[in-house]
Amino acid sequence: MINYLPILILFIIAVGFAVTNIGLSAILGPRRPTREKLTPYECGIEPVGTARERFSVKFYLIAMLFVVFDIEVIFLYPWAVVFKSLKLFGFIEMLTFIGIMLVCYFYIWKRGGLEWD
Amino acid sequence: MLNLVGLILLFPLIGAAINGLLGKRLKKDTVGYIACGAIGLSFFIAILVFCGLVLLPPEARLFEKQLFNWIESGSFKAAAGLQVDPLSSLMILVVTGVGFLIHIYSIGYMHEDKGYHRYFCYLNLFTFSMLLLVLGNNFLLMFIGWEAVGLCSYLLIGFWFEKKSASDAAKKAFIVNRVGDFGFALGIMLIFLTFHTIDFTEVFHAASEGGFAVGNFTITIITLLLFMGATGKSAQIPLYTWLPDAMEGPTPVSALIHAATMVTAGVYMIARCNVLYMLSPFTMTVVAGIGAVTALFAASIGLVQNDIKRVLAYSTISQLGYMFLACGVGAFSAGVFHLMTHAFFKALLFLGSGSVIHALSGEQDMRKMGGLKQHIPVTYKTFLIGTVAIAGIPPFAGFFSKDEILLESLVHGNFVYWSIAALAAFFTAFYMFRLLFMTFHGKSRVDHHVMEHLHESPKNMTMPLMILAGLSFCGGFLGLPGASAIDSFLSPVFGGHGHAEISMSGAAVHQSEGHPYLMMVISTAIAVAGIGLAYQMYVKKPELPQKLAGQYRLIYKILLNKYYIDEIYNALFVNSVKKGSLLLWKRVDAMMIDGSVNGVARLVGWFGNILRYLQTGYVRNYAFYIVLGCIFIMALAAFGR
Amino acid sequence: MITITHYLVLSAILFTLGVIGVLIRRNAIVIFMCVELMLNAVNLSFVAFAHYLNSMQGQLFVFFTMTVAAAEAAVGLAIIVALFRNKETVNIDDMNIMKW
Amino acid sequence: MINASIMTFNILNILPILVLAGFGMIVLVTDVLSSRKWVNRNILAYISLIGIIIAAVLTRSSTGTTLFSFNESFVTDNYSLFFNFIFLLCAGLTILISHNYIKREDINYGEYYALILFSTIGMMLMASGADLLNIYIGLEVMSISIYILTGFKRSKLISNEASLKYFLLGAFATGFLLYGISLTYGTTGAINLKQIASFIAEKGGMSDPLMVIGMGLLIVGLGFKVASVPFHAWVPDVYEGAPTPVTAFMSVGPKAAGFAAFLRIFLTAFGSSHLEWQKIIYILAILTMTLGNVSALSQTNIKRMLAYSSIAHAGYLLIALVSANDMGVSATLFYVLAYIFMNIGAFAIIIVLSRKGDECIQINDYAGLGFKHPLLAIAMTLFMLSMAGVPPMAGFVGKFYIFSAAIKSGYIGLAIIAVINSVISVYYYLRITVIMYMKEPAREFVPLTISPLMVAAIVISVVGTLQLGIFPSKVMEIAQRSILMMR
């Protein structure tokens, strides 16, 4: 039982910290909105139209594709670090990996994921 | 020949499959031929198997045919196998024989029904299930058969499901039986825990050799649980209420399932487990007590009922009570003997009543019958034989079996059992002849329109009646007191366990040489007295019943309303739930599915509805449940040890 | 001196913040960001453990967690976009056609 | 360390997975090329089926061995092979019942099949993972594919919503799982299940509280995947919203995979300190069974009813986990196999009866089916009876094994609660049968078109349900052999 005391304390601290901060910012945070403050940009330029403008869903598509391909690079780093000791085996392995990426790329391309209109 | 036993099961199954799958496209005649042919073949094989068994010397009359290893896990083995011994061979003869006659009868009875093929499919399926129940060599197979006959009975009670009363009755039967099945299933589990096997032979061997003292607690619990199953299926107090309602099904079904075969499954099961029951005097007392009370109770309700089939239904419950009484005092073979003769005469009576109903275009109220003797002579004659048989007039079948039970209840039981049984016998004679007189004698009270169509049933309906009448007449000679063929045939199953108490009835008769003949005279006198009273009241002075009913209003009303048991059950299980939550109910009720109308189910369904509100549809709530569950697990893991 | 405990406490706090965020936010995208916060809190503890135990497996795990998180992000965004096209909102309180 | 990993590199062991991955990519590429004249989209289903069959043959060929590969992170033993076979069967049946459905609903994209194959890969990884990393990756591959499959009817709001709910909650639960893995790793210093087990054995139990907490978080994460109460709330909504074949797929596949991982982790890694987790799972099992069965009673939508029923079945399977003996493991294997047949079979019937734009999923829509389409009604009755645990169907034998495993470990109370629960369940399963046979049709049945693939799926399910019910000993023998290699 006594072993769990620190855990309990930790638990309380974690919840407490989170709740306190959210609560504090809600209570203490000064709310004196002025017209200037509520504009999207406070740097002096008058905003043109609403900031909540719809923008094309294609941005999302590109962003998604970017995120996915971007993250694959993560696997290249460790491979690059130990490239020498992995020798030919590692090279073929990585070629396979890239090959799969190419298939995905081909698929996206043919599906029309990269076309803007 | 014994090896053919598998075929007995196979034929009805094939019949059911053909009729179920192709029946719609087949001609009506073909459907009937297939169904009857299947059972007929099955009956033929059953005779062969029976002969094969008889040819063996008595102590070798146990044949097990292993089909395949069904479930095997660790120490547990359940082989699907069939067991032929005197008890099961007798049962298959009754099931296939009576079943065959009832199938033939059904061809005529159901001829106009649009669900013709469906009916025969269910009926064949029922026969298959019943045979499985009887032939199985372990508790699990028996349980499968047990459940399957329940299912078929459910389907057949609700056969005319367009009628609300029929589908309600089906539901009631199913739910009440569930209660009993629950006990049965627990009993089987306990048997497995105790004996590590569920094979009949092994269990009984272990029970008799395993050093279980008489009165062993576990065995008592097991037998009580099994008996709970039996009370459900065999309609004993307190689970009998479904059987009278089950008369909503077609009449041949009432004859086959709710009189001759399925309802006797409980008796069969107890007889099969006689070794276990002998080890528990307490359970035996319970069985005998409930049997005796049910016999009297149901018979007293039968005194005043006006629906011809309901009288027979209460009579069935009462006769089943006799069988349990016999088992309860250790006279298993007397119980089985009565089971057999009862199958003959009760099937006859039901089919006869079906013939009456058929003749009267569906009328079931005896107050609207009377004087039918001349119009349907064959039905009358056969019905008379059946009535005499059940009333217990020598030398008809019912006399011998009932007399044996009465005798055993005195010799092995006590005077209380005997007097209850004797009173019930008196009632039986009375209400059966009341039925006979009201239906066939006296002035006709039949409606004019119906009168015009009054006709004797076709050949295929009267033939089975005649055959059954023959059996009801001579079936009793198998169990002549002192030289009972049945007793000696069944003795390998019930005797020879080394228990002194089980010196079976044959021996008992020898011990008390003077007794039986006196007893026979007494029981005949009782029957004659009942008949005489009925004659007085319903033929000689037809106004008397009315007067009596007026004089003893209270008793009459109680009896007519079947002791208000249905109402009491409703008040206890259904209404208390209803009233307790009346306010909530109105809101919940709208959302209730119409199926869960019945007490316990409704309660559970009500919880289900409450739980539904947890399912708010909001992701946030769901995530919250996850967090709650997580905290709960943490707490349990950390602080729960 | 910063010990493993400090890292663990930090990671626990971040994790809890994520959990509370999931529970109280209404915007599906923000909720998903809170989930990402939880995953990153775990990543922190992985790295801390790996350092403390002097073992590579923790860091290995972080690689995969990040990849998976990216894949989840892509799929999640796609789902949210598809929903937005039909419903014009990403407020999860508006999403309860199915309940009970 | 790195050299060692090359030493144990053995590509043959993961060949079934590679084959599936290859076929998944072939399906994708074929699909994008299908605008050309020489490729027909209809062949995609057949390509995927071929892939599944090849993978199954490869799986079959390596039975009887126990091989560790990839630095002991991947194990090929009878246990994983049995599960792999289950997943492949599940995927195959799903493709059979999907073919017509997705054409009819205008969602006939190659990605559908590819995603089914990919999620099958995930499941296979989960069953074969010998360390937490592999299990985690498998779980994610499986889940992400199914998130997409759930929302596959893009234009239908209900499908979108189900997908989003599943996704958000799934990711949320993954967070807990991952935290659990992290704490386990931190306290034992290993992610390999065998090393964790030996560490715990050395210490003589779970001395470190953080380790216990980690284990608890693992239960949360895996409990979500197997739909155990209180992590079950997503199930009814998601099952209702997903395209019906996908519902069929995810009611068995991920659940089986979840149990594969659950059993592997808790019996291998935490096997020596089973007292720690048995009490937790014990309570979860009772809650899961009871809530699932009781809630199912009041459902009017058959998909939701089957969702609650699947929660209840997860409860039964948790009993097998609680009993933590060999018999429990083999019972799980058997039960999951039986569950695939009866559940996918039931969903197949639902799909057959549905039409475009009319899912036909109210229970009352089944009124009178028994007269109109007797064969379908008989099949449905069979599946319902099997799920209710009525002998001699597969479901009964499965339940029987599980309950006797519990009794063998001394959990008699749990077995009794389970029996009561299965009695309750009879009620709602039978209700469908009753409605089919005992009610006048509430609506017209249009003539049905049943494709040969669908017929094959239903026939396989019926045969499987009966075969496992009447002759279970053969399969049970294989299941029993599948556990011997585990420890």
Per the structure, how many domains does chain C have?
Answer: 1
Contacts with A13 from chain C: Cβ below 8 Å: 9, 12-13
Residue type (1 letter), A49? G
- Cis peptide upstream of residue B395 (ω within 30 degrees of 0): yes
Closest Cα in chain D, distance from residue B612 (Å): 6
Task: Please list the residues that pair with D358 across neighbouring strands.
Answer: D355
Please tell me the least confidently modeled range out of B258-262, B578-582, D407-411: B578-582
Of D6, D32, D209, the CB nearest to A3: D209
Query: CA torsion angle for A17, A23, A24, A26 (degrees, to 10)?
Result: 150
A–D CB contacts, 8 A cutoff, strictly below: 28
Of C9, C71, C77, the CB nearest to A60: C77
CA D357 to chain centre: 28
Residue C97 within any structural domain of the chain: no
A–C CB contacts, 8 A cutoff, strictly below: 51
For residues B559 and B553, give the distance between their C-alpha atoms in angstroms, rounded to a whole number. 10
Which residue in A has a C-alpha nearest to residue B631's C-alpha?
A11
CB contact under 8 A, A100 and D6: no
Please report which confidence band the pLDDT of residue B580 belongs to, taking 50, 70 and 90 as the band edges: very low
List CB contacts of A54: < 8 A, sequence separation 6 or more.
Answer: none
> Is D68 in a helix, a strand, or coil?
strand
Q: Is the pLDDT of residue B125 over 60?
A: yes
Task: Please list the residues that pair with D129 across neighbouring strands.
Answer: D74
CB contact under 8 A, C70 and A70: yes
Residue carrying the six token digits 């029970």? B207
Q: Does C99 touch chain A (CB under 8 A)?
A: no
B307 DSSP 8-state letter: B
Contact D120, D149 (CB under 8 A): no
For residues B444 and B113, give the distance between their C-alpha atoms in angstroms, rounded to a whole number. 29
Of B182, B209, B187, the C-alpha closest to B198 is B187
- Tokens read off for B533: 């009273």
Contact D333, D374 (CB under 8 A): no
pLDDT at site D180: 95
For residues C28 and C88, give the distance between their C-alpha atoms in angstroms, rounded to a whole number. 12
Interface-testing mutation among D206, D298, D400, D414, with chain B (most B C-beta atoms within 10 A): D298
D41 DSSP 8-state letter: T
Host domain of residue A76: 2-111
For residues B247 and B302, give the distance between their C-alpha atoms in angstroms, rounded to a whole number. 14
Which residue in C has a C-alpha nearest to residue D210's C-alpha?
C8
CB contact under 8 A, B629 and D415: no
Query: What's the mean pLDDT in B405-409?
Result: 84
What digits encode the pLDDT tens for the residues B297-342? 888 888 888 888 888 899 999 999 989 999 888 888 888 888 888 9
Residue C100 within any structural domain of the chain: no
Closest Cα in chain C, distance from residue B609 (Å): 9
Please report which confidence band the pLDDT of residue B594 belongs to, taking 50, 70 and 90 as the band edges: very low
pLDDT at site B332: 87
Residue carrying the six token digits 């013709």? B116
Please tell me the least confidently modeled range out of A54-58, B159-163, B392-396: A54-58
Q: Does B639 touch chain A (CB under 8 A)?
A: yes
List CB contacts of A55: < 8 A, sequence separation 6 or more.
Answer: none
Of A64, A74, A78, the CB nearest to C78: A64
Q: Is the dihedral of CA B417, B420, B423, B427 positive or negative?
A: negative
Residue A117 within any structural domain of the chain: no
Q: Does B618 touch chain C (CB under 8 A)?
A: yes
Contact D174, D139 (CB under 8 A): yes
Q: Does C83 touch chain D (CB under 8 A)?
A: yes
Closest Cα in chain A, distance from residue C10 (Å): 8
pLDDT at site B259: 80
Contacts with C78 from chain A: Cβ below 8 Å: 60, 64
Query: CA torsion angle for D37, D41, D47, D48 (degrees, to 10)?
Result: 160
Which residue in D has a C-alpha nearest to residue B80's C-alpha?
D470
Low-confidence ranges of chain D (pLDDT < 50): 1-8, 486-487
For the domain that residue A43 is a member of, what is the CATH number? 1.20.58.1610
Closest Cα in chain D, distance from residue C6 (Å): 14
Contacts with B639 from chain A: Cβ below 8 Å: 1, 4
Q: Is the pLDDT of residue B506 over 50?
A: no
Host H or E run for residue B385:
helix B377-391
Of D137, D157, D178, the CB nearest to C87: D157
pLDDT at site C19: 93
Angle CA B145–B148–B151, to nearest 5: 155
Q: Does A108 touch chain C (CB under 8 A)?
A: no
With b for 16 or more beta-carbon neighbours within 10 A and e for fewer, the B1-26 pattern comes to ebeebebbbbbbbbbbbbbbeebeeb
Q: Is the pLDDT of residue B513 over 50?
A: no
Contacts with D8 from chain A: Cβ below 8 Å: none
Alpha carbon distance, N-terminus to C-terminus of chain D: 25
- Tokens read off for D2: 């790195």
For residues B64 and A62, give the distance between their C-alpha atoms in angstroms, rounded to a whole number. 74
- Tokens read off for D152: 């596959």
| Alpha carbons within 13 A on the beta-carbon side of D146 | 37
Please report which confidence band the pLDDT of residue A74 belongs to, taking 50, 70 and 90 as the band edges: confident
Contact B343, B320 (CB under 8 A): no
Q: Where are the alpha helices (DSSP H) in B56-163?
A: 86-109, 116-135, 139-157
CB contact under 8 A, A13 and C9: yes
D233 DSSP 8-state letter: T
Q: What are phi and psi of B72, to 5 degrees?
A: -140, 120
With b for 16 or more beta-carbon neighbours within 10 A and e for fewer, the D383-420 pattern comes to bbbbbbbbbbbbbbbbbbbbbbbbbbbebeebbebbbe
**For chain D, how are helix, strand and coil distributed in percent, rounded to 5?**
80, 5, 20
CA D451 to chain centre: 25
Interface-testing mutation among A87, A103, A105, with chain D (most D C-beta atoms within 10 A): A103
Contact B109, B358 (CB under 8 A): yes
**Residues within 8 A of D (CB atoms), A 64-93 only:** 82, 85-86, 89
Q: Is the pLDDT of residue B482 over 90?
A: no
- Tokens read off for D400: 């029987």
For residues A78 and A100, give the distance between their C-alpha atoms in angstroms, rounded to a whole number. 18
A62 class by beta-carbon count within 10 Å (0-12 exposed, 13-18 middle, 19+ buried): middle
Query: CA torsion angle for D393, D397, D402, D407 (degrees, to 10)?
Result: 130
Closest Cα in chain B, distance from residue C49 (Å): 21
What pTM was estimated for this model as a whole? 0.74
Q: What are phi and psi of B252, to 5 degrees?
A: -60, -30
CB contact under 8 A, D3 and A89: no
Alpha carbon distance, N-terminus to C-terminus of chain A: 64
What digits encode the pLDDT tens for the residues B349-392? 988 888 888 888 778 888 888 778 888 888 888 888 999 888 88
Please tell me the least confidently modeled range out of B116-125, B176-185, B270-279: B176-185
Residue A60 within any structural domain of the chain: yes
Residue carrying the six token digits 């002096």? A44
Which residue in C has a C-alpha nearest to residue B630's C-alpha?
C19
> Is D67 in a helix, a strand, or coil?
strand
Angle CA B437–B405–B135, to nearest 5: 100
Of B612, B619, B627, the CB nearest to C19: B627
pLDDT at site B608: 65
Phi-psi region of B414 (alpha: psi -120 to 50; beta: other; left: phi over 0): beta
Of D114, D117, D112, D137, the C-alpha closest to D125 is D137
Please report which confidence band the pLDDT of residue B196 belongs to, taking 50, 70 and 90 as the band edges: confident
Per the structure, how many domains does chain A have?
Answer: 1
Mean pLDDT of the residues in chain B: 80
Closest Cα in chain C, distance from residue A67 (Å): 6
For residues D349 and B550, give the distance between their C-alpha atoms in angstroms, rounded to a whole number. 61
CB contact under 8 A, A67 and C16: no
C–D CB contacts, 8 A cutoff, strictly below: 123
pLDDT at site D364: 83
Task: Please list the residues that pair with B78 across neighbouring strands.
Answer: B71
Q: What are phi and psi of D356, to 5 degrees?
A: -60, 130
Contact B129, B202 (CB under 8 A): no
**Residues within 8 A of D (CB atoms), B 38-67 only:** none
Host H or E run for residue B64:
strand B63-73
Contacts with C98 from chain B: Cβ below 8 Å: 617
List Cα–Cα distances, D451 to D44, D110, D254, D351, D455, in angstroms: 16, 19, 27, 11, 6
Query: What's the mean pLDDT in B417-441?
Result: 87
CB contact under 8 A, B193 and D408: no
Residue C10 within any structural domain of the chain: yes
Q: Is the pLDDT of residue A27 over 50?
A: yes
For the domain that residue C20 is a member of, what is the CATH number? 1.10.287.3510
Query: What's the mean pLDDT in C52-78?
Result: 91
DSSP B565-615: HHHHHIIIIIIHHHHHTHHHHHHHHHHS-TT--SHHHHHHHHHHHHHHTT-
pLDDT at site A88: 84
Which residue in A has a C-alpha nearest to residue B638's C-alpha?
A4
pLDDT at site D477: 85
Host domain of residue C45: 4-89
Contacts with A1 from chain B: Cβ below 8 Å: 639
Please report which confidence band the pLDDT of residue B500 belongs to, taking 50, 70 and 90 as the band edges: very low
CB contact under 8 A, D147 and C75: yes
Which residue in C has a C-alpha nearest to residue B608's C-alpha?
C100
Contact D422, B147 (CB under 8 A): no
Contact D481, D78 (CB under 8 A): yes
Q: Is the pLDDT of residue B274 over 90?
A: no
Of C22, C24, C96, the CB nearest to B618: C96
For residues B202 and B210, give the distance between their C-alpha atoms in angstroms, rounded to a whole number. 11
Domain spans of chain D, in order of start: 4-482
Contact B464, B292 (CB under 8 A): no
With b for 16 or more beta-carbon neighbours within 10 A and e for fewer, the B233-264 pattern comes to bbbbbebbbbbbbbbbbbbbbbbbbbbbbbbb
For residues B53 and B35, give the distance between their C-alpha atoms in angstroms, rounded to a whole number. 27
Greater model confidence, D465 or B173: D465
What digits encode the pLDDT tens for the residues D118-150? 999 999 999 999 999 999 999 999 999 999 999
Contacts with A67 from chain C: Cβ below 8 Å: 70, 73-74
Q: Does C1 touch chain D (CB under 8 A)?
A: no
